[in-house]
């Protein structure tokens, strides 16, 4: 990359403000393999939002600091490895023990896993593909697939296809935005609003669930 191109890329990244700007500069520093680690973590720990990370990675590919193809490949690989870990847990521990263990994680509730298990029971193997496109199901659908001993090759094909479609869409949206420099400031401002609203919603959701759990544990006693 030429020096003027590097200067332009750095300027475009600096134009992103707030938490979005911090995320963009973090992704830029970590590079393509960092994006893969983000998607792996998002698959295992659902509250990490791929809807923010991947469009920003796509945006940075238009600035010339990262490879579009490598971002797509590493993000899809990360999603698959995270899904494979949950598949292995389901196969190793069984559905009930896996749910009981994973539901202890912050911001994750037993109902999330039961929803994914119901989705898998209802739709069978295609649920692994379509579930990768549905927030709230996407990260957890691998657990019942492993618990029910879904064929590993079929699981791999459906997971890679669904993850590739989802990641490609988000990365492509970010890359398309990266070509519209006049929209960068507006994009940054409104995405910051969306992220702050999402964080506030998650916090409220967490508090409500904690209160519900406490009431359930006390048997409804005052």
Are the beta carbons of 19 and 196 closer than 8 angstroms?
Answer: yes
Q: What per-residue confidence (pLDDT) applies to 5?
A: 41
Phi and psi torsions of 124, nearest 5°: 70, -155
- Stated as kind and residue range, the H or E segment containing 108 is none
What is the reported pLDDT for 129? 92
Where does residue 149 fall: left (phi above 0), alpha (psi -120 to 50 degrees), or beta otherwise? left
CA dihedral 186, 58, 173, 22 (to 10 degrees): -30
Cβ–Cβ < 8 Å for 177, 59: yes
CA distance 198 to 174: 19
Query: Tens of pLDDT along 166-217?
Result: 999 989 988 887 666 555 555 566 566 666 666 676 667 667 766 766 676 6
Whole-number pLDDT of residue 120: 85
Domain ranges of the chain: 3-217
Cα(177)–Cα(183) distance, integer angstroms: 7
Task: Give the angle 104-108-113 at the CA atoms, nearest 5°.
Answer: 95
- Characterize 183-214 residue by residue with b for buried, 16 or more Cβ atoms within 10 angstroms of its Cβ, and e for exposed: ebeebbeebbeebeeeeeeeeeeeeeeeeeee
pLDDT tens, position by position, 10-19: 445 555 656 5
Contact predicate 19/191, CB 8 Å: no
Q: Using 70 as the pLDDT threshold, list the residues of the chain that sit under it.
A: 1-23, 46-50, 103, 105-109, 136, 178-199, 201-203, 205-206, 209-210, 212-214, 216-222
What is the DSSP annotation of 163-202? HHHHHHHHHHHHHHHHT-GGGHHHHHHHHHHHHHHHHHHH
Query: Using an 8 Å Cβ cutoff, are 58 and 170 in contact?
Result: yes
Please tell me the predicted confidence (pLDDT) of residue 160: 95
Looking at residue 99, the DSSP 8-state letter turns out to be H
Quote the CA–CA distance of 164 and 102 in Å, as a whole number: 25
């Amino acid at each position: 990359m030429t020096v003027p191109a590097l200067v332009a890329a750095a300027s475009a990244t600096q134009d992103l403000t707030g938490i979005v700007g911090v995320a963009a500069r973090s992704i830029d520093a970590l590079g393509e393999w960092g994006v893969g680690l983000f998607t792996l973590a998002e698959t295992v720990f659902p509250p990490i939002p791929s809807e923010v990370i991947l469009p920003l990675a796509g945006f940075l590919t238009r600035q010339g600091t990262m490879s579009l193809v490598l971002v797509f490949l590493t993000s899809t690989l990360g999603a698959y490895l995270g899904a494979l870990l949950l598949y292995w847990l389901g196969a190793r521990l069984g559905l009930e023990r896996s749910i009981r263990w994973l539901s202890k994680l912050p911001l994750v509730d037993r109902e999330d896993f039961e929803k994914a298990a119901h989705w898998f029971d209802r739709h069978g193997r295609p649920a692994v593909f379509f579930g990768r496109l549905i927030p709230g199901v996407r990260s957890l659908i691998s657990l019942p697939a492993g618990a029910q001993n879904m064929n590993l090759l079929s699981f791999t094909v459906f997971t890679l296809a669904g993850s590739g479609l989802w990641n490609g869409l988000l990365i492509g949206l970010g890359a398309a935005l990266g070509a519209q420099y006049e929209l960068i400031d507006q994009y940054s401002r409104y995405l910051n609003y969306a992220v702050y609203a999402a964080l506030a919603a998650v916090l409220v959701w967490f508090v409500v669930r904690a209160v519900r759990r406490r009431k359930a544990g006390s048997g409804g006693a005052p």
